[in-house]
């Protein structure tokens, strides 16, 4: 698949079938995620792959509540990847302080994208999630209190008949200019 086709194919999937995900496919997603670039090569991430059904259900339930119920689809996805933000190396932290930019958050976005695109290439479906009960997930997965969770990614196969959506994006002239703002 050409890269542009892959990028177009990846979409946030919110309806999953109960088809299980193969271990090897997850490993390839992690392989792609692991080689992502990061500021000062700090690689400030650790992936926790949650696939035990009991633990996965607990994590899924921590992604929605009574008011914000939009992540309920996580109950269906067979796997949830939890990206923990590890302490970046000294150079990355130094650069972040000087430049006042949270490089580690950029790094998390890039590694998560690698993960999702590899999953897409495998014919699987994903959805990145930034909305979850962090405290609860810390408890469920024994994550040290001083580490933040960057993103969650649901992983599985789309429910049969789930449609490829049109990409709703800003016009090109709104997100691009040449040689000057």
Ligand X SMILES: Cc1cc2nc3c(=O)[nH]c(=O)nc-3n(C[C@H](O)[C@H](O)[C@H](O)COP(=O)(O)O)c2cc1C
Contacting residues toward ligand X, per CB under 6 A:
11-12, 14, 70-71, 127-131, 151, 167
Which burial class, exposed, middle or buried, applies to 116 when counting CB atoms under 10 A from its CB (0-12, 13-18, 19+)?
buried
Kindly list the distances between the CA atom of residue 96 and the CA atoms of 43, 83, 109, 112, in Å, as whole numbers in the listed order: 14, 20, 16, 20
In the complex with ligand X, which residue's Cβ is closer, 20 or 130? 130
Closest CB 90 distance from ligand X, rounded Å: 26
What's the closest the beta carbon of residue 84 comes to ligand X, in angstroms? 15
Give the nearest distance from C-beta 171 to ligand X in angstroms: 16
For the chain, the distance separating the N- and C-terminal CA atoms, rounded to the nearest angstrom, is 34
Number of residue whose CB is nearest ligand X: 130
Please identify, using beta-carbon distances, which residue of 9 and 89 lies nearer to ligand X: 9
Can you give the C-alpha Rg of the chain in angstroms?
Answer: 17
Give which of 82, 112, 88 is closest to 101, Cα–Cα.
Answer: 88
Q: Other CB atoms closer than 10 Å to residue 86's CB: what's the count? A: 17
Give min distance, CB of 24 to ligand X, in A: 25
């Amino acid at each position: 698949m050409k890269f542009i086709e892959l990028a177009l194919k990846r979409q946030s999937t919110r309806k999953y079938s109960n088809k299980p995900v193969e271990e090897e496919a997850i490993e390839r997603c992690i392989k792609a995620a692991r080689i992502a670039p990061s500021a000062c090569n700090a690689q400030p991430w650790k992936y926790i792959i949650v696939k035990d059904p009991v633990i996965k259900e607990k994590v899924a339930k921590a992604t929605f509540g009574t008011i914000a119920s939009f992540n309920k689809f996580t109950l269906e996805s067979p796997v949830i990847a939890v990206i923990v933000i590890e302490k970046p190396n000294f150079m990355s932290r130094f650069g972040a302080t000087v430049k006042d930019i949270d490089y580690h958050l950029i790094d998390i976005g890039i590694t998560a994208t690698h993960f999702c695109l590899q999953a897409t290439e495998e014919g699987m479906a994903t959805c990145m999630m930034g909305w979850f009960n962090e405290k609860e997930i810390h408890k469920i997965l024994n994550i040290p209190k001083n580490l933040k969770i960057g993103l969650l990614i649901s992983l599985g196969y789309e429910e049969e008949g789930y449609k490829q959506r049109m990409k709703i994006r800003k016009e090109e002239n709104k997100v691009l200019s040449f040689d000057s703002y």
